Amino acid sequence: MAYAGLDTFLKGEPRDPDDLDDVDVAVFGVPYDGAVSNRPGARYGPGTIREASAWWAYLSEYKGALTNMRTGEQVDFDAFTVADVGDAPVFPMDHEATAESVTAHAATLAARAFPVMLGGDHYCTFPAFRGFLEGADHERVGFVQIDAHTDTVSESPVFGTDFHGSSTARIAELPGVDYDSVSQVGIRGYESPDFFEFAEETGLNLFTMRDVEERGIGPVVADAVEAAAQETDAVYVTFDIDAVDPGFAPGTGTPCPGGLTSGQALETMEVLGAHDAVGAVDLMEVAPRYDATEGTERLAAYLLVTFLERKFAR
């Protein structure tokens, strides 16, 4: 039953990070929210996403091959194997030690399987991306960020250079990464006064919510991932749950009105999962205590299930 047994992602077998030779997808959690600037609680995200994912594991076991009623396609979750390696060690009062731990975990997994990270606040994407770059032995990696916020703050007078609002800025400083291979989708709210000039000067591929509303989510995401894949060896995808409108996903630390619908979020993962260049994915900033309905973590799990279905099970 979905509610019985260990809470691993999609009821995947618990494995050691070094024991993944026969595994397609390796999942790890980062229960850390020491780098947030608003409401804490994302430390509880990995556990609740795992618990919510059990429903799809139950369905696939109970019904065998499934029909995806959104796409009309037949999918077989037995076509790929998932292992859950548990959580990377975190150090609540030490973001540098936490970052080193996340990098080591991501690098170990990336050398052996397709890595999936469950967050945790969005700062953790920076060390995970760094680990993917190292472990997969790529020279250039593109970055697709589905998010309400750009996370391009170089330095904050309050939070310094390393917090969840600086993760993309830190990624863009890594060897093998340039802003012209970074794509951002769903951006809204407020940024610095000269942000559009910054995007133009750096080559950042910026797709705001207005672009989504005018063009549709499918074409926007397709353009975003193509831009990130141009002249890179692979693409890392990060999905901040606050990209989704808080009416659909209130369980997050920095909610912002006017975001993606659940349907648009699912279509986003359909497009990304189908692209051959994508080599890693994470799902960040789920803070379940702000959603009494448990709907946010269910959506987060469904987004990852949708992505993996398109990547491995079609």
Binding positions for Mn(2+) are 122, 147, 149, 151, 240, 242
**Token digits of residue 212:** 């989504």
Quote the CA–CA distance of 223 and 160 in Å, as a whole number: 33
* 53 Rama sector, left if φ>0, alpha if ψ -120 to 50, beta otherwise: alpha
Residue ranges of alpha helices (H) inside 136-229 are 167-172, 195-202, 209-215, 217-229
Quote the CA–CA distance of 30 and 101 in Å, as a whole number: 10
> CA separation (Å) from 107 to 134, 247, 280?
6, 36, 11
Quote the CA–CA distance of 233 and 264 in Å, as a whole number: 27
What is the sign of the dihedral through the CA atoms of 136, 104, 312 and 259? negative
Q: In what order do the strands lie in the sheet with 114-119?
A: 13-14, 82-87, 25-30, 114-119, 278-284, 234-240, 141-146, 182-187, 205-208
Q: Strands 141-146 and 205-208: what pairing?
A: unpaired
Quote the CA–CA distance of 222 and 103 in Å, as a whole number: 28
Please, which residues have CB within 8 angstroms of residue 55's CB and are 6 or more apart in sequence?
2, 298, 301
Question: Which residues are bridge partners to 115 per DSSP?
Answer: 26
Task: Write the burial class of residue 178 (CB in 10 Å: 0-12 exposed, 13-18 middle, 19+ buried).
Answer: middle
> Which residue carries 């692979």 as its tokens?
234
Measured in whole angstroms, the distance separating CA 32 from the mean position of its chain's CA atoms is 15
> Where is the binding site, in residues?
122, 147, 149, 151, 240, 242
